[in-house]
Amino acid sequence: MPIAHRASILHFIADPDTVALDQAYEYYPDGIMVIDDGKIKSIGLAEDLLPSLGTDVDLTEHGNALIIPGFVDTHIHYPQTEVIAAYGEQLLEWLEKYTFPCEAKFHDEDYARDIAERFLDELLRAGTTTALVFGTVHKESVEAFFKACEKRNLRMVAGKVMMDRNAPDDLIDTAQSSYDDSKALIEKWHNRGRLRYAVTPRFSPTSTEQQLQKAGQLMQEYPGVYMHTHMSENVDEVKWVKELFPERANYLDTYDHAGLLGRRSVLAHCIHLTDEEWQRMEETQTGIAFCPTSNLFLGSGLFQLNRAVKHNLNVGMGTDVGGGSSFSILQTLNEAYKVLQLRGEQLSPFKGFYLATLGGAKTLDMSDVIGNFSVGKEADFLVLDKSCTPLMDFRMSKCTDLFEELFVFSMLGDDRAIKQTWSAGELVHQRD
């Protein structure tokens, strides 16, 4: 039976940096969205749609709320849920001190299932309906994650970490075993329902050349799978890669040489790229996850969004939990704004909400199925509450247009602003 939702409705149809602003989004101040069989059936102004709405349609009125597409988180680690907010270190020490000990527990599928469920609760509470997700080196971690996602019918991408050096013994695989385990997971999970697989070498320092080649072999053998890794996040990391791969032209070349760049590859961070690397990112249409809370929390640096725009790169927002300090994409936009302020750049709320929805979907090469409310797409959406706190309510009452409202959502908003989260037309989170 069709269902319909009535509220203000906003979605993006193009990147505000590439078209005139009024061509970038559609906004229905009093809108209706009709959903049938989990997909968008129609969308428009209430006054236009109401007269023809069949009597069989179950209409929910959301009052003074804003409906937008579900957020897309283009880089996050589910096993690190328990080390979010771990004190005092930068990347390489943070990995040794907090991350690796935590990830060692995920050989146990029961433990992994428990964390996966908790993680998905947090994602949906934050309004994230699709994410590109790191598991751990253990195939059990990915089994547990995909099973939990399948149960909730979520659109997710994930993969087993490939890591055959420079990590504790209990977190190390081999080039061959990482290939075999990834292959088995791809065969079982890639394109099963709404799930997809990402070949996931952690980052060049923890893979031998042989392992990166094996990752490349998987990309060749399974066109359509994703590649997900870290890139040029921290100055010491970049220096280390130079020492470990003296024969490669630069950090990016360690992935390029193995055939790991392309339209379905997403590199998290990309803060300290050289001119040659930016150029090669463009040539290969490789996507970027912009992770401002993590980049500030780990003291990694300031991402150059204007450079990515100049090179026509697909960019999405990433929380990078547990290096990132919040599951909330609203809070991530808040920090993104400040990072760009420090760089003398501006992040308009239109661009921010684009990056968090359609931009993320494009980065994941999924804009044919999610990212906005085009007819036929999967109905993943959020009901945002403009009066979720006394301050939000008061500040919103002073807003005179959509631009201001979106900016206030991104500055003051967090999981409290997410009244409901819907996935494939089903309610998957209702704020208490």
Q: State the nearest-atom distance from the C-beta of 268 to ligand GUN, in Å.
A: 7
Subset of 96-125 contacting ligand GUN (CB under 6 A): 99
Question: Residue 404 in contact with residue 107, Cβ under 8 Å?
Answer: no
Does residue 320 bind Zn ion (CB under 5 A)? yes
Considering the complex, state which of residue 100 and residue 373 has its C-beta at the smaller distance from Zn ion. Answer: 100
Give the x/- contact pattern for ligand GUN in 280-299, rule: CB under 6 A: --------------x-----
For Zn ion, which stretch binds (CB under 5 A), given 48-56, 263-271, 347-355, 357-365? 263-271
Question: Residue 171 in contact with residue 137, Cβ under 8 Å?
Answer: yes
Burial of residue 375 (number of CB atoms within 10 Å: 0-12, 13-18, 19+)? exposed
Q: Which does 95 bind (CB under 5 to 8 A by kind): Zn ion, ligand GUN, none?
A: ligand GUN
Considering the complex, state which of residue 122 and residue 320 has its C-beta at the smaller distance from Zn ion. Answer: 320
Subset of 227-246 contacting ligand GUN (CB under 6 A): 230, 233
Subset of 152-181 contacting Zn ion (CB under 5 A): none
Task: Give residues with Cβ within 8 angstroms of 289, minimum separation 6.
Answer: 74, 75, 132, 266, 267, 268, 269, 315, 316, 317, 318, 320, 363
Strand 426-430 relative to strand 418-423: parallel, antiparallel, unpaired?
Answer: antiparallel
Give the x/- contact pattern for ligand GUN in 300-329, rule: CB under 6 A: --------------------x--x------
Total of chain residues touching ligand GUN, rule CB under 6 A: 11
Considering the complex, state which of residue 70 and residue 324 has its C-beta at the smaller distance from Zn ion. Answer: 324
Whether the ω angle into residue 322 lies within 30 degrees of 0, i.e. cis, is: yes
Considering the complex, state which of residue 95 and residue 379 has its C-beta at the smaller distance from ligand GUN. Answer: 95
Subset of 139-198 contacting ligand GUN (CB under 6 A): none
Question: Residue 155 in contact with residue 191, Cβ under 8 Å?
Answer: no
Q: State the nearest-atom distance from the C-beta of 229 to Zn ion, in Å.
A: 9
Give the orientation angle of helix 175-189 with respect to helix 209-221, to 10 degrees.
Answer: 20
Considering the complex, state which of residue 254 and residue 294 has its C-beta at the smaller distance from ligand GUN. Answer: 294
- What are the C-alpha distances in Å from 356 to residues 263, 314, 324, 338, 363? 19, 12, 16, 16, 10
Considering the complex, state which of residue 336 and residue 383 has its C-beta at the smaller distance from ligand GUN. Answer: 336
Q: State the nearest-atom distance from the C-beta of 269 to Zn ion, in Å.
A: 8
Considering the complex, state which of residue 88 and residue 376 has its C-beta at the smaller distance from ligand GUN. Answer: 88
Considering the complex, state which of residue 133 and residue 156 has its C-beta at the smaller distance from ligand GUN. Answer: 133
Neighbours of 61 (CB within 10 A): 11
- What are the C-alpha distances in Å from 169 to residues 172, 179, 225, 292? 5, 18, 28, 31
Does residue 203 bind ligand GUN (CB under 6 A)? yes
Q: Which does 308 bind (CB under 5 to 8 A by kind): Zn ion, ligand GUN, none?
A: none
Q: State the nearest-atom distance from the C-beta of 77 to Zn ion, in Å.
A: 6
Q: State the nearest-atom distance from the C-beta of 229 to ligand GUN, in Å.
A: 8
Would you give the end-to-end CA distance of the chain in angstroms? Answer: 27
The token pair that represents 86 in the structure block: 């771990």
Subset of 33-92 contacting ligand GUN (CB under 6 A): 77, 91
Q: Which does 425 bind (CB under 5 to 8 A by kind): ligand GUN, Zn ion, none?
A: none
Q: Which does 15 bind (CB under 5 to 8 A by kind): ligand GUN, Zn ion, none?
A: none
Q: Which does 272 bind (CB under 5 to 8 A by kind): Zn ion, ligand GUN, none?
A: none
Find tokens 């939000």 and name the residue: 392
Binding site for ligand GUN (CB under 6 A): 77, 91, 95, 99, 202-203, 230, 233, 294, 320, 323
Binding site for Zn ion (CB under 5 A): 268, 320
